[in-house]
Amino acid sequence: MNELSMKESFVTAQKRDGKMRPALFLGLAFVLLGPPAHAPAQPAAPDVPSLLLGAAWYPEQWPESRWDKDLQLMEDAHLHVVRVGEFAWSTEEPAEGEYKLDWLARAIRLAAKHRIAVVLGTPTDAPPAWLTSKYPETLRVDAGGRRAEHGGRRQFNYADPLYRKFCAQIVTKLAQRFGHDPDVIGWQIGNEYTDESFDAGTRRQFDDWLEAHFVTLDALNRDWTTAYWSQTYGRWDEIPLPVVANENPGLLLAYKHFVTGTWRSFQRVQIDAIRKYADPRQFITTNYGGLGWSDRFDHDEVARDLSLASWDDYVGEGHLNVARNGAMHDLVRGFKRNNFWVMETQPGSVNWAPVNTTLYPGETRAMAWQAVGHGADAVLYWQWRSALNGQEQYHGSLVGPGGEPLPIYAEIGRIGSEFERAAPAIAGTAPKAQVAILHSYDSRWAIDFQRFNRDYHQLSVLLGYYRPLRDERLTVDIVNADAPLDGYKLVLAPDLNVISPQLAAHLLAYVQQGGHLLLGLRSGMKNEYDALNAERQPGPLVGPLGGRVVEYYALDAPVPVSGALGTGAVTLWAERLSVHAKDVKVLLRYGKGNGWLDGYPAMITRRADKGSISYLGAVLDPALMDRVIAWATSGADVKPEFEAVPAGVEVCRRVGADRIVFVLINHAKTPAHIALPDAMRDVLHGGSVTSVELKPQGVAVLEIATH
**Nearest residue to 538 (alpha-carbon basis) of 597, 594, 603:** 603
Strands 585-590 and 52-56: unpaired
Examine residue 40 and state whether it is found in any structural domain, yes or no.
Answer: no
Claim to verify: residue 284 and residue 415 sit in the same structural domain: yes
Examine residue 255 and state whether it is found in any structural domain, yes or no.
Answer: no
- Alpha carbons 312 and 301: distance in angstroms, whole number: 18
Claim to verify: residue 483 and residue 554 sit in the same structural domain: yes
Is residue 303 within 8 A of residue 331, CB to CB? The reply is no
CB proximity list for 305: less than 8 A, separation 6 or greater: 264, 267, 268, 271, 284
pLDDT at 389: 83
Claim to verify: residue 535 and residue 501 sit in the same structural domain: yes
With 50 as the cut, is the pLDDT of residue 461 above it?
yes
Burial readout 449-473 (b: 16 or more C-beta within 10 A, e: otherwise): beeeeeebebbebbbbbbbbbbbbb
- Alpha carbons 254 and 223: distance in angstroms, whole number: 11
**pLDDT band, residue 317 (cuts 50/70/90):** confident
- Prior bond of 538 cis (ω within 30°): yes
**pLDDT band, residue 153 (cuts 50/70/90):** confident
Claim to verify: residue 574 and residue 537 sit in the same structural domain: yes
Q: State which of 403, 426, 449 marks the end of a domain.
A: 426
Q: How many domains does the chain have?
A: 4
Examine residue 470 and state whether it is found in any structural domain, yes or no.
Answer: yes
pLDDT at 493: 98
pLDDT at 199: 95
**Percentage above 90 pLDDT, the chain:** 86
Claim to verify: residue 441 and residue 506 sit in the same structural domain: yes
pLDDT at 23: 31
Q: State which of 407, 426, 445 marks the end of a domain.
A: 426
Q: Which CATH number goes with the domain that contains 563?
A: 3.40.50.880
Claim to verify: residue 188 and residue 212 sit in the same structural domain: no
Supply the range of the domain harboring residue 545.
435-635
For 237-252, how does the pLDDT look when each residue is reduced to its tens digit (9 = 90+)?
999 998 777 899 999 9
Residue 22's CB: how many other CB atoms inside 10 A? Answer: 12
184 - beta bridge partners? 118
The arithmetic mean of pLDDT across residues 275-301, rounded, is 94
Claim to verify: residue 211 and residue 153 sit in the same structural domain: no
For 65-108, how does the pLDDT look when each residue is reduced to its tens digit (9 = 90+)?
999 999 999 999 999 999 999 999 999 999 999 999 999 999 99
Claim to verify: residue 229 and residue 273 sit in the same structural domain: no
- Prior bond of 383 cis (ω within 30°): yes
Claim to verify: residue 276 and residue 233 sit in the same structural domain: no
Is residue 223 within 8 A of residue 184, CB to CB? The reply is no
pLDDT at 357: 87
Examine residue 607 and state whether it is found in any structural domain, yes or no.
Answer: yes
Is residue 85 within 8 A of residue 400, CB to CB? The reply is no
Q: State which of 635, 659, 686 marks the end of a domain.
A: 635
Claim to verify: residue 594 and residue 496 sit in the same structural domain: yes
pLDDT at 249: 96
- Alpha carbons 621 and 542: distance in angstroms, whole number: 26
**Percentage above 70 pLDDT, the chain:** 93
Examine residue 111 and state whether it is found in any structural domain, yes or no.
Answer: yes
With 90 as the cut, is the pLDDT of residue 44 above it?
no
pLDDT at 48: 81
Examine residue 254 and state whether it is found in any structural domain, yes or no.
Answer: no
Strands 618-620 and 566-579: antiparallel
Claim to verify: residue 183 and residue 217 sit in the same structural domain: no
**pLDDT band, residue 646 (cuts 50/70/90):** very high
pLDDT at 46: 55
- Which run of H or of E encompasses 67? helix 64-76
pLDDT at 434: 98
The arithmetic mean of pLDDT across residues 599-619, rounded, is 96
If you average pLDDT over every residue of the chain, what do you get? Answer: 91
DSSP string, 468-530: HHHHTT--EEEEETTS--TT-SEEEETT--B--HHHHHHHHHHHHTT-EEEE-TTTTSB-TTS
At residue 173, φ and ψ (nearest 5 deg) are -60, -40
**pLDDT band, residue 20 (cuts 50/70/90):** very low
Claim to verify: residue 134 and residue 275 sit in the same structural domain: yes
With 50 as the cut, is the pLDDT of residue 699 above it?
yes
Instruction: Show which residues are catalytic.
Output: 192, 344
Examine residue 333 and state whether it is found in any structural domain, yes or no.
Answer: yes
Q: Which CATH number goes with the domain that contains 182?
A: 3.20.20.80
For 166-201, how does the pLDDT look when each residue is reduced to its tens digit (9 = 90+)?
999 999 999 999 999 999 999 999 999 999 999 999
The arithmetic mean of pLDDT across residues 493-506, rounded, is 98
Examine residue 13 and state whether it is found in any structural domain, yes or no.
Answer: no
